[in-house]
Amino acid sequence: MARFVTVAAGQLGPIARSETRGEVVARLMALMRQAHANGCDLIVYPELALTTFFPRWYFEDQAEIDQFFEREMPGPETQALFDLARECGIGFYLGYAELTVEAGIVHRYNTSILVDRSGAIVAKYRKVHLPGHTEHEPWRKFQHLEKRYFEPGSGFGVTAAFGGVMGMAICNDRRWSETYRVMGLQGVEMVMIGYNTPVHNPPAPEHDDLSLFHNHLVMQAGAYQNATWVVAVAKAGVEDGHPLFGGSLIVDPNGEIVAEAKTEGDEVLVHPCDLDATTFGKTTIFDFARHRRIEHYGLI
């Protein structure tokens, strides 16, 4: 019997700094209802999907930074999303800023979770490749302080869920071939990726026009070279005066784009993904056990 996961890419338009968690959760729930009405098993939301993309600002006051973080998941404002998921029997991937205390030490991560149709968290991923810089760089029109506000996560696992092998990554991770290959080696069949990508990169303004090309390039290559579906979802549009590009997409295991966002606002893309479409690549040209030559990969 074919294994289909009908997936929704739940793209978000901008979230203003003044928007409350409650208002954002209401938008996420509207996208989830739309996905459910279209027969989806799963909806993928962006990175840091509960607030504005706060690493664009330099804050000195830790209490101000911590307002963007969640101390519990689900928490009082996000519980409604979990309840709706259970009611609809639909799973979700959600990105958020996580604050956790372990052995008396506070940790802050850029995190995503995978929630199953019963509303239970079945996997958590903490972003590995944190882009940007650590110190305030006033010459920039805006900052990218992920390296200051988060610590790196711990690796790329996969999870048996939705009848397949599911993997998660977050934003900048999508540019690194290692992200897909580490999950590919564990048989991943669907990689979910949320992102927030500024249209402008202050150190390389000449790359602005290549942004969407790079977005396609890395995810189409990652999908094809690892024979996996890739579902990538933006927070897009002009957020507090700062443009983020859209271009959410679903890529099949041949590397072809099967759905792509048309707007920079709240938008749902839907595609029925046949997980068995990954088998051909995994058993032929990208049969890793037969064809990889790890004796020549020592440097990595």
Question: Residue 15 and residue 26: Cα distance in Å, rounded?
Answer: 12
Q: Which is nearer to ligand CDT, 144 or 242 (CB)?
A: 144
Q: Are β-strands 4-11 and 237-239 bridged in parallel, bridged antiparallel, or unpaired?
A: unpaired
Instruction: For the CB of residue 191, give the shortest distance to ligand CDT in the complex, in Å.
Output: 15
Is the Cβ–Cβ distance between 243 and 190 less than 8 Å? no
Dihedral over Cα of 69, 74, 77, 80: its sign: positive
Backbone φ and ψ of 277, nearest 5°: -70, -10
Binding mask 169-188 toward ligand CDT (x if CB under 6 A, else -) reads --xx--x-------------
Q: Does 40 bind ligand CDT (CB under 6 A)?
A: no
Q: Which is nearer to ligand CDT, 47 or 239 (CB)?
A: 47
Question: Residue 219 and residue 180: Cα distance in Å, rounded?
Answer: 9
Instruction: For the CB of residue 73, give the shortest distance to ligand CDT in the complex, in Å.
Output: 20
Q: Does 200 bind ligand CDT (CB under 6 A)?
A: no
Question: Which among 99-107, 190-198, 225-233, 291-299 is the span making contact with ligand CDT, rule CB under 6 A?
Answer: 190-198
Residue 47 falls in the annotated catalytic set: yes
Distances in whole angstroms, Cα of residue 169 to Cα of each of 130, 173, 183, 231: 11, 6, 10, 10
Residue 127 CA neighbour count, 13 Å, CB half: 31
Q: Does 248 bind ligand CDT (CB under 6 A)?
A: no
Question: Which among 17-25, 36-44, 194-202, 289-297 is the span making contact with ligand CDT, rule CB under 6 A?
Answer: 194-202
Is the Cβ–Cβ distance between 91 and 51 less than 8 Å? no
Is the Cβ–Cβ distance between 230 and 222 less than 8 Å? yes
Interacting residue with ligand CDT among 195, 224, 229, 286 (CB under 6 A): 195
Of these residues, 171, 239, 267, 282, which one is catalytic? 171
Is the Cβ–Cβ distance between 24 and 49 less than 8 Å? yes
Interacting residue with ligand CDT among 34, 99, 132, 279 (CB under 6 A): 132
Residue 40 falls in the annotated catalytic set: no
In the range 47-86, which residues lie near ligand CDT by CB under 6 A? 47
Number of residues that bind ligand CDT (CB under 6 A): 11
Instruction: For the CB of residue 122, give the shortest distance to ligand CDT in the complex, in Å.
Output: 24
Residue 127 falls in the annotated catalytic set: yes
Binding mask 84-123 toward ligand CDT (x if CB under 6 A, else -) reads ----------------------------------------
Q: Are β-strands 237-239 and 242-244 bridged in parallel, bridged antiparallel, or unpaired?
A: antiparallel
Question: Residue 25 and residue 188: Cα distance in Å, rounded?
Answer: 29
Q: What is the set of active-site residues?
A: 47, 127, 171
Which positions lie near ligand CDT, rule CB under 6 A? 47, 131-132, 144, 171-172, 175, 195-197, 201
